Amino acid sequence: MTPPRPRSTPAYRVVSEDLRQRIVRGDIRAGEALPIEADLSTRYSVHRSTVREALRQLEQDGLVRREGKRLVVTVPRQSDLTGSAERALRLQRVSFREVWEAATTIEPMCARLAAQRVSAEQLALMEQNLRLTEALVQAGESPVKATIEFQSLVAEAAGNQALLLARAPISLLMLAGYAAIAPRLPQSGQRLLEAHRQVFDSLRQRDAESAEAWTRKHLADHRRGFEFAGVDMEQPIPADLTGEPPQP
């Protein structure tokens, strides 16, 4: 049966949402092909162009991929979900303050869990990151990307997929925040490095309270950085502010 739809809902949205629900419920499993356009057109009593647009929506969302002439159900990659969420937040014109407030909830929780669950291999990757960050600071280069990578390593060590998915777009937007203030705060690199060293030592000692406390201190420093740099935290994050170093 064709699902009922409000008059204001485009037909392709009704089709894509019904297929999305079937995929989420497991009626169509990862690796299985969707029915062909002609069959879907008959099933939903819509034109094939409507089905085509519905399938395009699912493909954009990472729920299906093309294999030859068929569309196969797939599990969305984290990068796809993160990119979509980040773009949506930018379109909503979220401010630097809003992103910082979200980070002050998520990042300390990651640090606390990581202190309980971090592996020797993960600690080794963090130590390698700290050496890279130190080299960048000593060379007078921006350590912002290395900083975000360190925080991602801590989040991965927390061992919570839901938390990882929740923080990923916030992390990208925090990168934009660092990019906004770092050029005006040449001393910030050394402070970032010191904070991460303290977090790393806390994780190595399995000290959850200390890891959380140092993460909170680091984020408080981030907020003060906006004040020292003279950047208004209430302004929306610009669409073109990505954290990439400026091109010569």
Among 166, 155, 183, 154, which Cα is nearest to 244's?
A: 183
Q: Is residue 240 part of a domain?
A: no
DSSP string, 69-135: TEEEE-PPPHHHHHHHHHHHHHHTT-BHHHHHHHHHHHHHHHHHHHHHH--HHHHHHHHHHHHHHHH
Strand, helix or coil for residue 164: helix
For residue 98, give every residue at least 6 positions away whose Cβ sits within 8 Å of its Cβ, in sequence order, or none: none
Lowest-pLDDT range, 110-114, 119-123, 226-230?
Answer: 226-230
Average pLDDT over residues 138-153: 90
Give the pLDDT confidence score for residue 245 in this predicted structure: 42
Pair 213, 97 in one domain: yes
Collect all residues with Cβ–Cβ distance below 8 Å to 173 and sequence separation of at least 6: 86, 89, 90, 94, 99, 237
CATH of the domain at 94: 1.20.120.530
pTM reported for the whole predicted model: 0.71
Q: Are residues 28 and 131 in the same domain?
A: no
Q: Tell whether 41 and 126 lie within a shared domain.
A: no
Does residue 237 fall inside a structural domain? no
Residues 52 and 121 in one domain: no
User: pLDDT > 70: what percent of the chain?
Assistant: 91
Statement to judge: residues 150 and 114 lie in one domain: yes
- The pLDDT of residue 60 is 84
**142 or 99, higher pLDDT:** 99
Q: Is residue 180 part of a domain?
A: yes
Residue 247 has pLDDT above 50, yes or no: no
CA distance linking residue 75 with residue 161, whole number of Å = 14
pLDDT score of 227 more than 90: yes
Helix 96-117 × helix 188-204 angle, to 10°: 30
Looking at 45, 73, 101, the residue that finishes a domain is: 73
CA atoms within 13 A on the CB side of 169: 17
Tell me: pLDDT of 53 over 50: yes
For a pLDDT cut of 90, what percent of the chain falls above it? 61
In a domain, 203, yes or no: yes
Indicate if 96 and 212 belong to the same structural domain. Answer: yes
**Domain end: 21, 48, 73, which one?**
73
Our count of domains for the chain comes to 2
**pLDDT at residue 24 in the model:** 84
Q: Which domain holds residue 17?
A: 11-73
| Cα–Cα dist 240/227, whole Å | 22
Residue of 21 and 3 predicted with greater confidence: 21
Judge if 121 and 224 occupy the same domain.
yes
pLDDT at 26 over 90: no
Q: Could you tell me the CATH number of the domain that includes residue 17?
A: 1.10.10.10
Based on the fold, state whether residues 159 and 57 are members of the same structural domain: no
136 inside domain: yes
For residues 45 and 117, state if they share a domain: no
Same-domain check for residues 167 and 139: yes
What pLDDT, on the 0 to 100 scale, is given for residue 144? 83
Distance CA 164, CA 135 (A): 28
Please, which pLDDT band fits residue 240 given cuts at 50, 70 and 90? low
Asked whether residue 44 falls in the same domain as residue 103, the answer is no
